[in-house]
Amino acid sequence: MTFVFASNNSHKLEEIQRLLSEHTILSLSAIGCHDEIEESGETLEANSRIKARYVRQWIRGHYPDLLYDGIFSDDTGLEIDALGGQPGVYTARWAGEPKNDAANRHKALSLLEGAETRSARFKTVITYITPEGKEEQVYGLVEGSIAPAEAGDKGFGYDSIFVPEGYDRTFAELSSETKNSISHRARALMALRTQILKQ
């Protein structure tokens, strides 16, 4: 089966291609869409839906002959308990524009300096839309905590400061195989596979 993933993020695409290796995954650039999709929603669910709907409309207007079985998009948020659930929906651009992963991590560590509670979680929402327009959403969640300092050089985003529950190392210190078996995105993709794709 062939699916369009509503992103050009190479890190996400690599994860998804490994987890759904039995399928063909097309990025936005692969179908010729280079638009910057505005994520104007106030929730992860809304932003995920906005991206998937945008790409479906783009395909209908620019590439109507494209043969595909569905479109899916994800939106992920980091929720830090000591910060009232921040950054949440603003995770990617928390430290301001343009998006800067290092600045985001620095902000998190600075705001948590001296904090007794460092519990946090990653939440991923995936929206799936069929070519006919039927929509469904699935979720992936991983509990954990924010490390006192950055550690590891794998991964991206907040991976070097997030320690998943049950581990004593950050996502950025774990092998890709281990991360892909426990991460929020992996769990959401497994839900996509079992609940929607039925493969």
3-state secondary structure the chain: CEEEECCCCHHHHHHHHHHCCCCEEECCHHHCCCCCCCCCCCCHHHHHHHHHHHHHHHHHHHCCCCCCCEEEEEEEEEEEHHHCCEEECCHHHCCCCCCCHHHHHHHHHHHCCCCCCCEEEEEEEEEEECCCCCEEEEEEEEEEEECCCCCCCCCCCCHHHEEECCCCCCHHHCCHHHHHHHCHHHHHHHHHHHHHHCC
- Is residue 75 part of the annotated active site? The answer reads yes
Catalytically annotated residue among 75, 81, 153, 159: 75
Active site residues: 75
